[in-house]
Structure 1
Amino acid sequence: MGTTERKHVLITFGRSFLTLELARLMSAAGHRVTIVDSIPVGVTRFSHAADAFHRVPAPKFEPRAYCHALAKIVADEKVDMVIPIHEETDILSMMVDLFPPECELFLSDFETENSLHNKFEFQELLVARGITTLKYAQVRGPEDVAALDFDAPFALKECYSRGSQKVHKIMPDDPLDWVEFDPINPWIAQEWVSGTNYCTYSIVREGRIHAHATYPVDYAIGGSSCLNFRSVQHDGILEWISKFVRDMNFTGQIGFDFIEDPERGLFCIECNPRATSGIMMFEPADGVDRAFFGENDDVITPDPDVHKMIGLGMLLYGWRKASRRDRSLREFFRTFRNSSDVITSPGDQRPALLLPFAYLGILRSCYKYKVGLAEGFMHDHEWDGLRISE
């Protein structure tokens, strides 16, 4: 059940499984879907859900050219809504004036997006709103390292980082002379606690949640990049997010990482003001397209029995001890057997069949930028705090 009026939506980051799933959901609801990416062969390009594909400049390295290219496509093809998927969200939020006023960019203003993306500024937002946080400190240089007073393990990560990249578990007496400092992208030290980890995905318009999913971290790269997805109901998390996005008057896709300590309660570790893997738990029958256009009254949630996975990711990483945590290999194989792969879909098998060709483009990026597979997948769509203007 989708919206009654057919729209033309442009979705970015065509190589992503998130983009593939959203394209399928939009297409199933009757909308026209255009996909863009900076590599020529993204997995969504093979999908029947994509009506058109455009190769565009890499947003990280050519942000102005990227935004101008998207604005031209929007104007030429009369796009109704642009839905960014990854950190090109921040870049587009700085250049919204390029786009025709009749096209909506599904995001918030730059100051809001940046304050949520920057891990230190996000913690400062929580404190300003009276929300209890884990202990944290910003690390800009050697003097901040010397001032750290953690008496228990803590995480050290860049304020602009993603997908568990460069997250270090530090013991109080560990030397930190290896840390390199970037004035644009400093570090944040954050208390390391044990507990149950949850990730979320919400579609929000003007501070109101229209669709929402909460899923525990079961199998994950680096402990946070989830590889399998099962929907759970957590009223405390939904209440927390509802109040926060209402206070921020947020519009866009947004995800949060939580940890729940059995003694201390619920803490929000960080925010991702963009799409997260939770979008992959929705089915066409949910009519999630209505959430983007603000046409539903009740909050749309996934079926509680949904069990999905990124099959290739599970095969490459999920079986490893670090990814499955305390779960046995027997449990891993049971989960793998009982979960459906997000890339497969009845009537749309080409993305699965042609996935090796799609990954050739990713591997080419890995070679070009001299990074690993996980980093190469998103490297040219990352944003690390450098502001741009038209």
Structure 2
Amino acid sequence: MSRVNENPSLCVLVTAIGSFSADRVIRELHDAGIRVIGCDIYPRQWIANSSLVDVFYHVALAHSKEYEIQLREIIQEEHVDYIFPLTDIEVDVLNGLRGTLESVVCISGADTIRVCRDKWKTFQILVPKFEKYLIPTRLLSNIKIDGLEYPVICKPINGRSSSGLFIAHNVRDFQYYRSTITDGDRYCVQPKIEGTVVTVDIVRSEWNDECVAIPRREFLRTPNGAGVSVEIFQNDILCELAKNIASELNINGCVNFEFIETPSHEYRFLECNPRFSGGISFSCIAGYNFVMNHLKCFLHESIDSQPRTRDMFIVKKYNEYVMD
């Protein structure tokens, strides 16, 4: 544990502060005069953002019992008001713990999280109203090889950061990959759609249905799917589509949607990540404070209105820090 300063008002615990979104989240909270506690599975000396938070804790893996014990101790010791989980696995764990913690977990409702963390459930919920914007999706267990058009993408229904995803370019690929999977109900299959990944950062207030969306094209991405070279652009139709999907899923707070933009500029919805995107800083630079408006959703305050952003290219770079 390391302490930087004591600045009581609201206190927010930010998890996984070594993740891509953490720097912007911490800085925006601090700029608002909020005390920030940070934790991560790696030690302080390995995490540059540990020098930004008021207090840092080294914690166990999120799915362990030790993590839950540590989390409760941190909440009590630091008088944490709100928790911002930054990774999917922590969203899953905290979704199960909400209501048993003294702090408010700042994520969408329990049912919404369960749907968004299951690609098959998401497809089933959205297909009645948004079928033309969805990629046709089937469970692997229901697939017949005869007549399947390649290439296809197979991925876990609860996967994250492209983990477990594979592309079958022909029947031999598909047969091999399918032979390695024991539960076909846990994998979904989709045609591979060529195009550019578009991420839409979106914040929606559940209690009054206010909603803001900012899209970006992602040209260079890390192997885990985080954009590092992007273009902020205006598209009212896409923003309206994202807002309607957010309403259908009953999103509360800030999440990100991923789409594929085809060469003919049609959009196909990929998934909802029910947390800050790794590139949330891009949207903040573009002119909207998603971090503080996320918090407003849980304070039951009106969020700021949709800004008129300008088109721009933004790139991310890495810096070096001496920690000790």
Relative to the length of structure 1, the TM-score reads 0.70
State which of 309, 313, 317 in structure 1 corresponds to 2:315.
309
Gaps of 5+ in 2: 1-7
Offset at 1:199?
A: 0.8
Offset at 1:192?
A: 1.2
Instruction: Work out the CA distance in 1 between the residues paired with 2:115 and 2:74.
Output: 29
Tell me how many residue pairs correspond in the alignment.
Answer: 305
Which residue does the alignment assign to 2:77?
76
Instruction: Work out the CA distance in 2 between the residues paired with 1:57 and 1:275.
Output: 22
Identity %: 19
Taking a change above 3 Å as real, the CA distance of residues 238 and 284 of structure 1, as seen in their structure-2 partners, is: closer
Provide the secondary structure at the position in 1 that maps to 2:126: helix
Which residue does the alignment assign to 2:115?
115
Which residue does the alignment assign to 1:34?
37
Contact 2:156 2:187 in 1 (8 A): yes
Instruction: Work out the CA distance in 1 between the residues paired with 2:287 and 2:194.
Output: 37
Offset at 1:118?
A: 1.5
* Counterpart check, 1:151 vs 2:141: no
Which residue does the alignment assign to 2:304?
298
* Counterpart check, 1:226 vs 2:224: no
Instruction: Work out the CA distance in 1 between the residues paired with 2:224 and 2:17.
Output: 25
Instruction: Work out the CA distance in 2 between the residues paired with 1:96 and 1:151.
Output: 43
Which residue does the alignment assign to 1:243?
244
Which residue does the alignment assign to 1:131?
131
Instruction: Work out the CA distance in 1 between the residues paired with 2:270 and 2:129.
Output: 15
Which residue does the alignment assign to 1:164?
162
* Counterpart check, 1:177 vs 2:176: yes
Taking a change above 3 Å as real, the CA distance of residues 234 and 216 of structure 1, as seen in their structure-2 partners, is: same
Instruction: Work out the CA distance in 2 between the residues paired with 1:72 and 1:302.
Output: 43
- Superposed CA offset, 1:137-164 (max 9, x none): 1114xxx454574324211122222223
More relative contact order, 1 or 2 (CA 8 Å, 6+ apart): 1
* Counterpart check, 1:354 vs 2:310: no
Offset at 1:27?
A: 0.5
Which residue does the alignment assign to 2:99?
97
Instruction: Work out the CA distance in 1 between the residues paired with 2:308 and 2:87.
Output: 22
Q: Comparing 180-189 with 197-206, which one deviates more in the overlay?
A: 180-189
Instruction: Work out the CA distance in 2 between the residues paired with 1:16 and 1:146.
Output: 39
Gaps of 5+ in 1: 313-342, 344-351, 358-390
Taking a change above 3 Å as real, the CA distance of residues 201 and 285 of structure 1, as seen in their structure-2 partners, is: closer
Offset at 1:223?
A: 9.1
Offset at 1:202?
A: 1.9
Offset at 1:168?
A: 2.3
Contact 1:286 1:302 in 2 (8 A): no
Structure 1 residues 184-199: aligned runs within 5 Å: 186-199=186-199
Provide the secondary structure at the position in 1 that maps to 2:99: helix
Provide the secondary structure at the position in 1 that maps to 2:73: helix
Matching residue's letter, 1:177 = Y
Give the root-mean-square deviation of aligned CA atoms.
Answer: 2.9
